Amino acid sequence: MHDDRSLVESRLKRVLEERIRPALYPESVPLEVSIWTAPGEPVPVAEGLAAPRTPIAVGDAWGAPWGTSWITVTGTVPEAWAGRTVEALIDLGFDANMPGFQCEGLVYRPDGSPVKGLNPQNQWVRIATPAAGGEQVVLHVEAAANPVILDYHPFLPTELGDRDTAGDRPQYKLTRMDLAVFDETVWQLVMDLEVLGELMAELPVDGARRWDVLRAIERALDAVDLQDVNGTAAAAREQLAAVLAAPAVPSAHRISAVGHAHIDSAWLWPLRETVRKVARTTANMTALLEDEPDFVYTMSQAQQYAWIKEHRPEVYARVKKAVAEGRFVPAGGMWVESDTNMPASEAMARQFVHGKRFFLEEFGVENQEAWLPDTFGFTGGLPQIIRNAGSKWLLTQKISWSQVNTFPHHTFLWEGIDGTRIFTHFPPVDTYNCSMKGKEIAHAARNFKDKGVARHSIAPTGWGDGGGGTTREMIAKAARLRDLEGSATVRWERPAEFFEQAQAEYPNPPVWVGELYLELHRATLTSQARTKQGNRRSENLLREAELWCATAALRTGLAYPYQELDRIWKTVLLHQFHDILPGSSIAWVHREAEATYATLAGELETLIDRAQRALAGDAAGGRELVFNGAPHTRSAAPAGGAALASAARADGCAITARDGGGFVLGNGLLSVTVDGDGLVVSVVDLATGRETVAPGTRANLLQLHPDFPNMWDAWDVDQFYRNTVTDLTGVDALTVALDAPEAVAVRVARSFGSSTVVQTLTLRAGAGRLDIDTEVDWHETEKFLKAAFPLDVHTERYAAETQFGHLYRPTHTNTSWEAAKFEACNHRFVHLEEPGWGVALVTASTYGHDVTRTVRAADGGTTTTVRFSLLRAPRFPDPLTDQGLHRFRHALVPGAGIADAVREGYLISLPERRVTGSAEAVRPLVELDQDALVVSAVKLADDGSGDVIVRVYEADGGRARGRLATSFPLAGAVPCDLLERPWDGTRGSVVVSGDGVELALRPFELVTLRLTAASG
Ligand SMILES: [Zn+2]
């Protein structure tokens, strides 16, 4: 037979596009349209409904960037349409390719009840089926003129990302505002032809099925009268019925479709717009659930439920009803889909605490999957946190975005730093915005790496990023793909149903140990430094606030600020969303984040101050108490307690001028030599005589790179950035900043480009570390600033702190997997060691770093260079990213073992506080006699019982036994999960004895204890 395949395929494309789709709405009449534009920010629904309208016509421009217009459409269903299906078509000026990235609307009835959302892929509103002739139609649309930030030519700097700079030029033109007859038969024909046409394109050309489908399509097209599509659509469908009825082969891949809208809690829109995005999408999805009995919809991020509960109660009522019916499924169990690289231990734990608790309290639902489709890499600390939250599964597709290496599994056990294993699935469809296209379904089946031993995968289905969700077209296509020869099978299922089936069919999946590193978006560890510092500061202040408020509550009866802490935690958790903390949002988001963090800091400082004053007693007592919020003793103040400030001043520091320029600083522990350029040429650990700085190199060297990635400016740094570097060695001034027995310091000032930097290097009495405070007035564009420490250490691996422990990464680039990790995350420290001697670099400020190694020609020794990433200056999406003043604190700790790195990391992050009072001392609520056991949190139980919650983890990566002693009479201690519920999942040994608990923990194990004080 002659091969006319391409002829039929081209015919399908043209007839579908030019004749059949246009016949979906065979008749229409224009609606009358009027508009009111809110003068500033969005107004309450009642106000928008009541505001006076002025007429507007199709073709007219509307919508200044970020503005809100209330558009009213009115009309009458023509008598001739009685008995037919009538819809309103509302095209606000949509570009069909940009759902979620454009203008959007939420449709209301005159009584204020929501109907559904409008977006570029969802422009219809059902009026009636069957319609009554003469029916009056009145609808109101709350239309948001969200500007397009990410355009066809992407990543171009734009002023549109902040209301303050966006101007007032209208962004959209009303395109179609009609009442129309909807021809359901034509719509079904379109669905048939799309499914079969897309399937056909994926089938092997030498297989019979492809030709069966081709001939059926040809017969269907023959049956269509191009001058009467509506009259012949049914006949065309008959020609397709047989190929649509052919069942899938038994070995077909099985896809669990999950209705979904990935909604970024902020990104190319501000937080306040996400509130409305969620309302639009959930209004749409609850409407769709009513129309489609098989459909199941999943939404993650408790914060988004909380938003609509507060701001759109009429939509929330519908959500609550659908959740109760089991068809709207809360997923993820986290407050937001956060970044996981940067949040500290407690914050990562609290994401689950607050997320799961919200779902439990609002819906009585506890889901068991962590749902993080879009997060930029996953730390080795996460599995244990997921398990301690009472969950057991993880879903993400993001690792498929890795630039270099292809991950070997789609379903596997992911093992974290402590040995916890989590059953993990990467949807092979490689998107969280599946739209049921044949190409996507076929890709999922082909791409699935676990064929032969497993058959199931998941497909999050619906428009996402900016919301939108699943469409009726996706549901129609899924119905045809339920059991179709040549395709994977598709069923609407809840995430838990998928995971249970996947786990049952795959009892021994492969294991991946350690972090799930995303080989992309590495610059998100550095971009928007002030947002990142706000997060760190908030995390540290929350630790202190909980500790001191709990201590004051037990000791003095001061009321514990449950509600304030709950609210502040949720705000901090929200800002860990995977486009806020990573620094990849528009300017508006980061401007607001900085202001919010400043407010939170003030509130937390007040809480801390009030608790410490209560503990210190009457200020007239005149005693200066040193409060130590760190988990290690210092300045004679116990961890988590306070001691009188010592009268004896520590001393022993000295600074002398160096021959040839520069200074030598000493404190009896370290001898530090700064050369005439203000660079550190030597740091000797006097206890061992060991030199820290590699011969022939200089440490604390600031280095400037050009930084213009090929895509994703705020997200990405591409490896070639290293090809060009400028060492900032020019000095404006090098002076002694401090010369006292208790501390000595030098200050070095430099200027480069349009920027200046002042660094202060300080050596304190009794401290085995060199503190480096950096103040940069940064006015560069597309540059990357690093601080380099070339160390005389030979090692194949180094440690970087993560949640509840640390993980190791290689210092070499043997394979593509190691080479791809050219920028990585640290929490408070990076640590390198040779047997018997190590060095730590600690930080209170930054997350990104890189480690490289070279071998020196002169002596054959190895130089391992650690560089902290300080600042970037991308221009998209915020054209002025990181401009202005920044302060950083780092320190070099020679001779540090891993325990020293842990301790110094805490000490640099949690400065001591001095309060005048009458108390002799403040005993900590709990004390540990073993340094490897570190207190992560001390707080009162969230249930208001007055019980003390203490979270402890093994921090060194070994086994540790120790006693946690309480300074209050102890009635009982119960191991708990993160939600403070009694839990038998604790693996270590926890034995109550007297007023204390004997603990024996395994490497990196965390334990949450609920301690009940004896009454009286
Ligand atoms: Zn996202």
pLDDT (tens digit, 9 = 90+) per residue, 135-192?
Answer: 999 999 999 999 999 999 999 999 999 999 999 999 999 999 999 999 999 999 999 9
Whole-number Å distance, alpha carbon 337 to ligand 1 midpoint, is 8
Question: Could you give the dihedral angle defined by the CA atoms of residues 773, 345, 850 and 522, in that order, rounded to the nearest 10 degrees?
Answer: -110
Q: What is the pLDDT of residue 987?
A: 82
pLDDT (tens digit, 9 = 90+) per residue, 720-744?
Answer: 999 999 999 999 999 999 999 999 9
Whole-number Å distance, alpha carbon 422 to ligand 1 midpoint, is 22
Q: Name the helix (H) or strand (E) containing 330.
A: strand 328-330
pLDDT (tens digit, 9 = 90+) per residue, 450-478?
Answer: 999 999 999 999 999 998 999 999 999 99
* DSSP 8-state secondary structure symbol assigned to residue 575: T
| Banded pLDDT at 867 (limits 50, 70, 90) | very high
- Collapsing DSSP to helix, strand or coil, 80 comes out as helix
Quote the CA–CA distance of 981 and 1010 in Å, as a whole number: 9
pLDDT (tens digit, 9 = 90+) per residue, 210-237?
Answer: 999 999 999 999 999 999 999 999 999 9
Count each helix (H run) and each strand (E run) in the chain, helices first.
Answer: 18, 54
Assessment of whether the complete model's pTM goes beyond 0.85: yes
What is the number of other CB atoms lying within 10 angstroms of the CB of residue 218?
A: 16
Residue entry with tokens 């819809």: 87
Whole-number Å distance, alpha carbon 858 to ligand 1 midpoint, is 50
Q: What is the pLDDT of residue 647?
A: 67
Counting Cα atoms < 13 Å in the Cβ hemisphere of 554 gives: 29
649 pLDDT more than 70: no
% of the chain beyond a pLDDT of 70:
100
Whole-number Å distance, alpha carbon 261 to ligand 1 midpoint, is 10
Name 393's bridge partners.
369, 423
Q: Which amino acid is at 76?
A: T
Quote the CA–CA distance of 72 and 805 in Å, as a whole number: 57
At how many degrees (to 10) do helices 345-363 and 562-574 cross? 110
pLDDT (tens digit, 9 = 90+) per residue, 64-102?
Answer: 999 999 999 999 999 999 999 999 999 999 999 999 999
| Banded pLDDT at 989 (limits 50, 70, 90) | confident
Whole-number Å distance, alpha carbon 466 to ligand 1 midpoint, is 9
**Contact, 832 vs 808, CB < 8 A?**
no
Q: What is the pLDDT of residue 650?
A: 74
pLDDT (tens digit, 9 = 90+) per residue, 542-592?
Answer: 999 999 999 999 999 999 999 999 999 999 999 999 999 999 999 999 999
Whole-number Å distance, alpha carbon 29 to ligand 1 midpoint, is 40
In 3D space, the residue among 601, 352, 278 whose CA is nearest the CA of residue 286 turns out to be 278
Residue entry with tokens 């221009």: 875
% of the chain beyond a pLDDT of 90:
97
Quote the CA–CA distance of 1002 and 770 in Å, as a whole number: 32
Sheet containing strand 28-30, strands side by side: 28-30, 176-181, 86-91, 124-128
651 pLDDT more than 90: no
pLDDT mean over 611-626:
96
Q: Is 374 a catalytic residue?
A: yes
Quote the CA–CA distance of 976 and 951 in Å, as a whole number: 9
Whole-number Å distance, alpha carbon 42 to ligand 1 midpoint, is 24
Sheet containing strand 421-425, strands side by side: 369-371, 393-395, 421-425, 411-415, 511-513
Selecting among 162, 192, 374, 465, the annotated active-site residue is 374
103 pLDDT more than 80: yes
Q: What average pLDDT does the structure give for the chain?
A: 97
Whole-number Å distance, alpha carbon 399 to ligand 1 midpoint, is 13
Q: Kindly list the protein residues that place their beta carbon closer than 5 angstroms to ligand 1, a single-atom ion.
A: 264, 374
| Banded pLDDT at 1 (limits 50, 70, 90) | confident
Quote the CA–CA distance of 793 and 789 in Å, as a whole number: 11
pLDDT (tens digit, 9 = 90+) per residue, 682-708?
Answer: 999 999 999 999 999 999 999 999 999
Q: Which amino acid is at 89?
A: L
pLDDT (tens digit, 9 = 90+) per residue, 309-331?
Answer: 999 999 999 999 999 999 999 99
Least confident of 1-5, 792-796, 998-1002: 1-5
Q: What is the pLDDT of residue 986?
A: 84
| Banded pLDDT at 127 (limits 50, 70, 90) | very high
Quote the CA–CA distance of 583 and 100 in Å, as a whole number: 20
Helices (H), 5-62: 5-15, 45-50
Q: What is the pLDDT of residue 39?
A: 95
Question: Could you give the dihedral angle defined by the CA atoms of residues 422, 427, 431 and 433, in that order, rounded to the nearest 10 degrees?
Answer: -90
pLDDT (tens digit, 9 = 90+) per residue, 424-451?
Answer: 999 999 999 999 999 999 999 999 999 9
| Banded pLDDT at 1016 (limits 50, 70, 90) | low
Q: What is the pLDDT of residue 203?
A: 98
Chain centroid to Cα 582, Å, comes to 7
